[in-house]
Amino acid sequence: MLIKSSIIWRMIAWFLLMALIPLGAVTIFVQRQVNQTVLDVELQAAVREARLHAAESAHHPDAFEEHTQIYQGTEEVAFILGTDSTYLAHTDPQKIGASAKNDFTPDILQTFFSADSGSLDNGDAGQIIGYAAIPGQDSVMVIVKDNQAIQNTLDSLSRSIFLQLSVILLITSIVSGVAILAVINPLRTLANFADQIGSGNLDATIDQTDLEGEIAVLAGSLASMTARLRDLINNLESKVEERTHDLEIAAQELKRTDLMKSQFLASMSHELRTPLNSIINFTQLISMGVAGPVTDEQMTMLNTSLGSSRHLLQLINDVLDISKIQAGKLSLYIEENVNLNEEIKAVVDMAEPLLQKQNAALEQPIRFVQDIDRDLPLTACDRRRFRQVLLNLLSNAIKFTGQGSITLSVKKKEEEFIFAVMDTGPGIAKEMQARIFEPFVQATSDIKHTQGTGLGLPISRSLVEAHGGELWVESNMGEGTTFFFTLPFRSPVMHSKEITQ
Amino acid sequence: MNPQKPILVYVEDDENSIFIMKMVVERVMKLPTLYVLQSRADFVQQVKGLGVMPDVFLLDIQMKPYDGVELLSMLRKDPQFKCSKVIALTASVTNEEVSLLKSGGFDGAIAKPLNIEVFPDLIARIINGEQVWYIA
């Protein structure tokens, strides 16, 4: 508070400084005017005195001495000058008979005799001179006054006026300063209070006991406003806390649900597979004759049972895959130096029995054409997932092709492998071409062809994309279908580079 | 060790799976017997109690109270079985699980349901010292 009010004192100092400059100028101007006026008055007085004494001296020529002697002990000097510039009478008796040429310049001496009477300001010597010719005689009465003494008196008077004015000014300034402080201090208290509120300290209080009038009213309003603000904010904070808590609970619940879903899928996968695996293996054992001879009819039924069971197992695997993909939890198991030629051969070996089975029911067997680059370079990929994609496309082609051919083409072009599975089947309508990549959508409702999960293509596309490749279809109705997919070539060198990065 | 009549030990908690494996080993592979042990804390004692040195251990992975990975570490702690051939049998062949099995020290894995036609050949390859990861 004390520190802050120093600005008031600084303002007072400035005010004083600004006021003193014109005050000084005015004082100097007034002093000059007064000096001039006093000079004029003194000059006239000198003439008057000189005339008076000259007139007197004319009547009493024998009393010359008296007229000059009366100035003894004063700051004035009187003398009577003869035409030869010698002192006929003088306030200082020793000068009588001496020449005035030692005391005055010839110009001045000449002036004394040039007119009946007059006055002159002999500024060089600080003298005011009045002179008058003594009537009927050839002599001049001269009164010399010391101007310096008068000037000194005037100067001291000016100084005293200036000093008094300054003191009055100073007192006025201090009094106004104190008065301003008396108003400003409560305002400053209010400002401090407002500052504290502004900076977020809503618990700030204001001492209203010293405040009066409008300022007290203002302080009261400010205090009640702060209280309302505090209530509002506290309310808001508790509301935000409440909502945040709700959100946290919801997030935890969501996490828990997600975990439960994952656990459910994992355990469902195990619980479903265990009995299914038993069914598959028991059926296999029976069909192998382990439990006794099997008739042809029984064998057909056992094979059907085996096929259905495997289909069911595939369905479970696909549902698990798609749920992982949708949960963003699909991860690849990338192996280095995968020989694609070997992997392709393994897939073809798996697909060929399907084709043979299909051809057995056809008059004109479907031709299977392979156009595969030899010696494809080793690359890094998830072998199992790669096989899954290629097998899915090949088995789809076999499933949907009734005549003609199926062509598998694999080429390495620049930094990627391009796979194409082309069939001469019915083709896929344009409007269906995007939809077949959605889960559980199939291009045909033909019962013969519905033996699938409707998940193969979306899973395959996700698997290819996870490898950094693309999977797409090109087809025209009646002209067959070609599925393409690309796999980025990742050479062992490139891959180790990636790791070091 | 008689390569013609290897001694197989199977640890599994599902009765049907045990029955199937017995059929495969005794009827299809024509081996004298399949030793079946239980997932228990005294697993190593059970093995020693057999009185014979097994050629191949077949461990189911999803078992209680001890899963295949835990049984393997019990076995490996005993110097007698440090170099025994141990194969995982698993129904859920996820990528994560395969890498876990490989890093866990298994000599191979065979997916369930068993491919009964190739199973005898897989066992022969394992006994020959090959690592067999028949999972796809």
Q: How does pLDDT run across A197-241, given as a tens digit for each residue?
A: 888 787 877 777 777 777 788 888 888 888 888 888 889 989 999
Best-predicted range by mean pLDDT (A72-86, B3-17, B88-102): B3-17
Checking if the pLDDT of A142 tops 60, the result is: yes
Name, in order, each residue with C-beta under 8 angstroms of A299's C-beta and a sequence gap of 6 or more.
Answer: A287
- Answer whether A332 touches B (CB < 8 Å): yes
Residue of B13, B15, B16 to mutate when probing chain A, most A C-beta within 10 A: B16
Considering only CB atoms, which chain A residues are within 8 Å of B114? 277, 281
Chain centroid to CA A150: 74
Nearest to B6 by CA among B121, B127, B132: B127
List CB contacts of B26: < 8 A, sequence separation 6 or more: B32, B33, B34
Q: Provide the β-strand partners of residue A328.
A: none
The interface residues of chain A toward chain B in range 362-401, judged by CB-CB distance below 8 A, are 382-384, 387
Dump pLDDT digits (tens) for B80-132.
Answer: 998 899 999 988 767 678 888 888 899 999 998 999 999 999 999 999 999 89
Residue pair B38/B60 in contact (Cβ under 8 Å)? The answer is: no
Q: Does residue A422 contact residue A366 with C-beta atoms inside 8 Å? A: no
Binary contact (A278, B98; C-beta < 8 A): no
Query: Could A281 and B114 be called an inter-chain contact, meaning their C-beta atoms sit closer than 8 Å?
Result: yes
pLDDT score at B64: 86
**DSSP H/E element including A298:** helix A296-326
The nearest CA of chain B is from the CA of A331 a distance in Å of 7
Residue A136's pLDDT band, with cuts at 50, 70 and 90, is confident
What pLDDT was estimated at residue B17? 93
Average pLDDT over chain A, rounded to an integer: 84
- Choose the weakest-confidence range: A95-109, A352-366, A447-461, B117-131: A447-461
SS3 of residue A273 by DSSP: helix
- In 3D space, the residue among A120, A128, A138, A43 whose CA is nearest the CA of residue A81 turns out to be A138
**Per-residue pLDDT at A423:** 94
Contact between A390 and A347 under an 8 Å Cβ cutoff? The reply is yes
Judging by beta carbons within 10 Å of its beta carbon (0-12, 13-18, 19+), is residue A146 exposed, middle or buried? middle
How much is the pLDDT for A417? Answer: 95
* CA end-to-end distance (rounded Å), chain A: 63
| Helical pair A213-287 and A296-326, crossing angle rounded to 10 deg | 160
Structure tokens at A114: 């040039």
Alpha-carbon distance A438 to A462, whole Å?
A: 11
Task: List CB contacts of B107: < 8 A, sequence separation 6 or more.
Answer: B85, B86, B87, B126, B131, B132
Q: How confident is the model at residue A2 (pLDDT cuts 50, 70, 90)?
A: very low
Which residues of chain B are within 8 Å of residue A313 when distances are taken between CB atoms? 113
Confidence check on the interface: ipTM exceeds 0.95, yes or no: no
Tell me the pLDDT tens digit for each residue of A336-351: 889 999 999 999 998 9
- Is A132's pLDDT higher than 90? no
- pTM, 2 dp: 0.55
The residue of chain A with its CA nearest to that of B135 is A384
Where is A44: in which H helix or E strand?
Answer: helix A6-59
Contacts of A333 in chain B (CB under 8 A): 95-96, 98-99
Strand-strand pairing, A117-122 and A127-133: antiparallel
- Tens digit of pLDDT for each residue in A39-78? 888 888 888 888 888 888 877 777 777 778 888 888 788 8
Q: Which residues from B are below 8 Å from A384, CB to CB?
A: 93, 95, 135-136
The CA-atom distances, in angstroms, between A280 and each of A267, A270, A287, B34 are: 20, 15, 11, 21
